[in-house]
Amino acid sequence: MKEWIAYAVVSSVVKLAGALPRSLARALAEGLARILFALTPKLRKTAEFNLKLAFPRWTDAQREATIRGMVRSLGWMAAEFARMPRYTRKNIEEIVVLDGHENFLEGQRRGKGVLFLTAHMGAWELSSYAHAVYGYPLHYMARPLDNARLDGLVNRYRGLSGNAPIFKNESARLMLRILKDAGTVGILADQNTMREEGVFVDFFGVPACTTTGIARVALHTGAAVVPGYAVWDESLKKYRLRFEPPLELVRTGDAERDIVENTQRFAKVTEEIIRKYPEQWVWVHARWKTRPQGEPPLYDFL
């Protein structure tokens, strides 16, 4: 019953936001985001803790401004998600502009597939959707939501422009086949990872357990690793889907060392993007939760 109620509420809000004019939809979603954030004090505490960890020299006012911007960004992204069925090749340039797309095309031209390295930045749901609308669909790594009905709704919207999910239980074999066919796989690589699935690399000056999957696949297949992210550009009043040049992989001949060094390189690129647009990253995630053996937990309030 709870699963059905949650689905009914979320689907109704999504349909309402999708039917409203864009400005009203974004205002409504931002307002709801602020209410939900106010009702979940642990999220605020996590965001404040993370910002102190990442930017120890910032003032409280700087951190508070970043949190307000983050909540706005999340609300706006929710509105864009609800409106994705309305975005087509005829109107997508009014919402999202491509920047540095030649970098993606260079990675694609190499012929061994592209690993679209991205993060929970700006309108991350819109980034892959818009890129598919522009004519470049991809497969994306996904963890099924606990609520099966909501999971179906989310993946149905994500797939309207031609994208398709890769779930964890099928990830390795399917990903290798897609890359062998010179396809594209999008991976959000900025979240905490269990110790047995990652390695500790520097992230904002603090060891963070980070997935090694991207490095392992890239080293094995030769796929191009192309960073990309969609951030709100206030001057354009649009999202800018920015692609950076393909990252050159470290290959020393020592397999484990190469995995660690490339994972560090990917984390550094993600950090640089977040530093540039701190108000558009999701600071409410316990990014440094997994600690090296013997270290005490950082999030003792969770």
pLDDT digits (tens, 9 = 90+) for 145-181: 888 888 899 999 999 999 999 987 667 889 999 999 9
Residue whose structure tokens are 């951190």: 63
The residue that leads in pLDDT, 170 or 13, is 13
Residue range 280-300: average pLDDT?
A: 96
Give per-residue pLDDT as tens, 51-105: 999 999 999 999 999 999 999 999 999 999 999 999 999 999 999 999 999 999 9
At 57 the pLDDT is 97
Decide if pLDDT at 201 tops 70: yes
- The per-residue b/e assignment along 219-251, b for 16 or more CB within 10 angstroms, e otherwise, is bebebbbbbbbbbbbeeeeebbbbbbebbebbe
The reported pTM is 0.94
| Reported confidence tier of residue 302, pLDDT bands at 50, 70, 90 | confident
Q: Report the pLDDT value the prediction gives residue 5, as an integer from 0 to 100.
A: 66
What confidence score (pLDDT) does residue 167 get? 86
Per-residue model confidence (pLDDT) at position 147:
87
Instruction: Give residue-wise pLDDT tens across range 116-135.
Output: 999 999 999 999 999 999 99
Q: Is the pLDDT of residue 1 over 60?
A: no
Residue 48: closest CA among 207, 291, 284: 284
Average pLDDT, the chain: 95
> What is the rounded distance in angstroms from the CA atom of residue 134 to the CA atom of residue 161?
9
Report the 10 Å Cβ neighbour count for 168: 10
